[in-house]
Amino acid sequence: MTAAPWLRTLEVAHRLPGRVRLRYRRNAHAPDAAVLEGMARLIDGVTSARVNARAASLVIDFDAQRTTLMAIVTALGDLGWDAVKARPRDDEGAGAVAAALAVLVGASVAPMPARLPLSLAAALPMLRAGVDDYRENGVTSHVLESMAVAISLARSDFLAANATTFMLALGEYMEQSIARRSDDLLKHLLRPSSDLIWVLRDGEEVQIPAGEVAVGDTVVVGAGAVIPVDGTVMSGEGVVNEAAMTGESVSAIKTRGAKVLSGTTMEDGRLAIYAEQVGRHTAAARIADYVEQSLTAKSEAQLDAARLADRLVPTVLKLAGVSAVLTGDWRAAASVLQADYSCALKLATPVAFKSAMFNAGQAGILVKGATALERLAHADTFIFDKTGTLTTGHLEITDSIAFDSTYSAEDLICLAASVEEHYFHPLALAVVKAARATDQHRHFDHTEVQFIVAHGVASEVKGQRIVVGSRHFVEDHEGIDVSAHADVVERLYLEGKTLLFIGFGGRLLGILALKDSLRVDAAATIARLRRAGVKRVLMLTGDHRDRAAELADQLGLDGFHAELTPEDKAGIIAGLNAKGAKIAFVGDGVNDAPALAGAHVGVAMQKGADIARLTADVVLLEDSIARVADARALANSAMARIATNYKLTVGLNTAILGLAALGVLSPVATAVLHNGTTIGILLNAFRGSAPKADRRPG
């Protein structure tokens, strides 16, 4: 990846504490003012952003406690529309390390007079960065490091200066290359797949790749699909779920003139939409960028480490001063300044997180940020959705029982399929598939179909009302008596089947029984989660309680809730949240998106709806529930490693600092000891957390 062409032209025109004015060159690559402002506001710590397009300048106000100018500029690069980076490329970082190493070796064998210019040249970039950092942020650990190098240079202790420069370059390179590897992988995975979409061309509907849709096209979207553009409704009527964009799962009815956003889902109806923003300029693309940006957001553990590191900086500075005065030797001061805790404290934690995220990606788990990993490790309650999560979601019709002899078993399936064929619910898909496999594959003409979330569908055939759905829907909402067939119902439930009730003309016409098998590794996964410290495992489902009870029993769950609507599911999560539970919710986004969004950490199954993959904190990349336990194991080992590294950092550096202050350690010895241990700690952080050892076939 290369730096954004417009970004390279970003230039600091003026700055005050907490405010900066950046100037950019207006060229074809520069994003428009509103986009640039929006991007800038998304950056962590930025409080406001204004663009003056005529002056080609961008004024940003930020909270100097939370972010730095450098971080903002880097983030702007990360947000670049063309997926660009402001960070040095791998080979540049490697070049800096190699150069520093060459100078370290070279300066110790070079003739005396060449050593100062060589060392100075090698140290100059970091000295300059130190001065900039001091101007921008006051005394930071970078400033201390620069001071240490400067003192060593002033004392003509080139070995110490060069050793420090080298170690710092190496540390930075390692952190960045690890960070970039995980970021690149994550970004690659987050890009929405380019599907085919329908557009109106010369009055006809034609299918084109999503990437080819242009502003001004009329896009036609049906129920169940994700809206691919931002635009205005020209005709049609539809129910649109905007949870992906607003975070709230409220369905809005859209008719002519209404605005719709890409990434939102059509729950029902059909819309012709005039495309106003397409591709990378859509709201969905902006959200994807936002997710990418949140990768740089700091987790709690990271903030703790950074805070401690910042608090220690002035102490180290004072200690350096005191020991210089007491020992009468600047050597001791240079030693002390180098033994600052910050590098290991600040680097080891993010490196451990990113490396765990990278390993997770390779193990088929996308973790969207350090916070997600942290919460996954701390979750004490795991809640699973049933269909498609604990079960495979590939339902098969096993029984078709018609109570009216004018309908054959196949007719019953075809009748249900005729009204279900517009839906993507796993039950609907199974019914339609079964109908296609029948000999005649009859189609019953019907009026418009109504979909009642978590209940079923309703329409009219031959002037009579037809309903297909859950027992609760048919009995309680439609007032259809099923008691005459209680024995059949009982038997089918005992066989562990999911039932669909078909009501026609106010009577129970028949029952379809479907078998949804538990995933083979569901029980093993739950057992592994318990071994990994999870206290409670629950199941939520829209299905009947008998079916739910049987599964809960088979899996040895701590409890379950059945016959729930999506809102009920979210309500249960909120209730447990209020009682202090730390919840991980695992679902597929079909009727559980609000629950996914409301949990402490949401885990989306691979086959999940787009909406789930957008809102979840963790996305499984393989259709295997075992990955949930893998993710927990990875998170646990990352947190354990972070804790160990933290103790090691504080322990080792306190010892080194003490010895340095007493003048026992020379600056070179300090550089080697301090940076050596720091790199050791980083390597420990980087070490793969390989969950594969505990992986079961899935």
| Choices 143-151, 342-350, 464-472, 487-495; region in contact with ligand ATP by CB under 6 A | 464-472
Q: How far apart are CA 696 and CA 522, in angstroms?
A: 11
Rounded least distance, CB 289 to ligand ATP, Å: 30
Position 469 contacts ligand ATP (CB under 6 A) = yes
Q: Which of 415, 397, 418 is nearest to 407 (CA)?
A: 415
Judged by CB under 6 A, the residue of 43, 51, 167, 428 near ligand ATP is 428
- The 584-623 contact track toward ligand ATP, x by CB under 6 A, reads ------xxx-------------------------------
| Ordered DSSP codes for 63-124 | -TTT--HHHHHHHHHHT-TT----SPPHHHHHHHHHHHHHHHHHHHHS-HHHHHHHHHHHHH
- The residue ranges of DSSP E strands in 246-373, in sequence order, are 251-254, 259-260, 265-277, 365-367
Q: Using CA atoms, how far apart are residues 500 and 482, in angstroms rounded to an integer?
A: 12
- The answer to whether residue 435 forms part of the interface with ligand ATP (CB under 6 A) is no
* In the block, residue with structure tokens 């691979």: 606
Question: Does 478 help bind ligand ATP (rule: CB under 6 A)?
Answer: no
Angle at 101 between CA 97 and CA 107, to 5 degrees: 140
Q: Which residues pair with 451 in a beta bridge?
A: 457
Burial class of residue 527 in the structure, from the number of CB atoms within 10 Å of its CB (0-12 exposed, 13-18 middle, 19+ buried): middle
Burial class (CB in 10 A: 0-12, 13-18, 19+), 448: exposed
Question: Rounded to whole angstroms, what are the CA distances from 628 to 464, 587, 632, 698?
Answer: 46, 11, 6, 11
Residue nearest to ligand ATP as judged by C-beta position: 542
Pick the closer one to ligand ATP by CB: 56 or 596: 596
Q: Is residue 298 a contact residue for ligand ATP (CB under 6 A)?
A: no
What is the closest distance, in whole angstroms, from the C-beta atom of residue 613 to ligand ATP in the complex?
16
Whole-number minimum distance, CB 468 to ligand ATP, in Å? 5
**What's the CA gap between 465 and 143, in Å, rounded?**
77
- The site map against ligand ATP for 552-591 (x = CB under 6 A) is --------------------------------------xx
**Site track for ligand ATP across 493-512, x = CB under 6 A:** -------x------------
Nearer to ligand ATP, 75 or 576 (CB): 576
Please give the structure tokens belonging to residue 318. Answer: 């004072």
- Is residue 543 a contact residue for ligand ATP (CB under 6 A)? yes
202 is catalytic: no
* DSSP-derived pairing of the beta strands 259-260 and 251-254: unpaired
Query: Closest distance between ligand ATP and the C-beta of residue 547, in Å?
Result: 8
Contact criterion met (CB below 8 Å) for 497 and 547? yes
468 is a contact residue toward ligand ATP (CB under 6 A) = yes
Please select the residue that binds ligand ATP; options are 31, 45, 350, 542, rule is CB under 6 A. Answer: 542
Site for ligand ATP in 152-171 (CB under 6 A): none
By the rule CB under 6 A, 454 interacts with ligand ATP: yes
Q: Are 616 and 596 in contact (CB under 8 A)?
A: yes
CB closer to ligand ATP, 286 vs 425: 425
Residues near 683 by Cβ (< 8 Å), separated by ≥ 6? none
How near is the Cβ of 592 to ligand ATP at its closest, in Å? 6
Assess 241 for contact with ligand ATP (CB under 6 A): no
Contact call for residue 425 and ligand ATP (CB under 6 A): yes
Q: Pick the catalytic residue: 133, 183, 385, 516?
A: 385
In the complex, least distance from residue 38 CB atom to ligand ATP, rounded to whole angstroms: 35
For helices 158-190 and 667-686, angle between their N-to-C axes, nearest 10 degrees:
20
Applying CB under 6 A, does 630 fall inside the site for ligand ATP? no
Residue 420 lies near ligand ATP (rule: CB under 6 A): yes
In the set 457, 626, 633, 665, which binds ligand ATP (CB under 6 A)? 457
Which residues within the stretch 370-399 sit at the binding site for ligand ATP (CB under 6 A)?
385-387
Q: Which residues, including other chains, have CB under 8 Å from residue 130's CB and lie 6 or more apart? A: 142, 143, 145, 146, 147
List, by residue number, the catalytic residues: 385
Binding region for ligand ATP (CB under 6 A): 385-387, 420, 423, 425, 427-428, 454-457, 468-470, 500, 541-543, 590-592
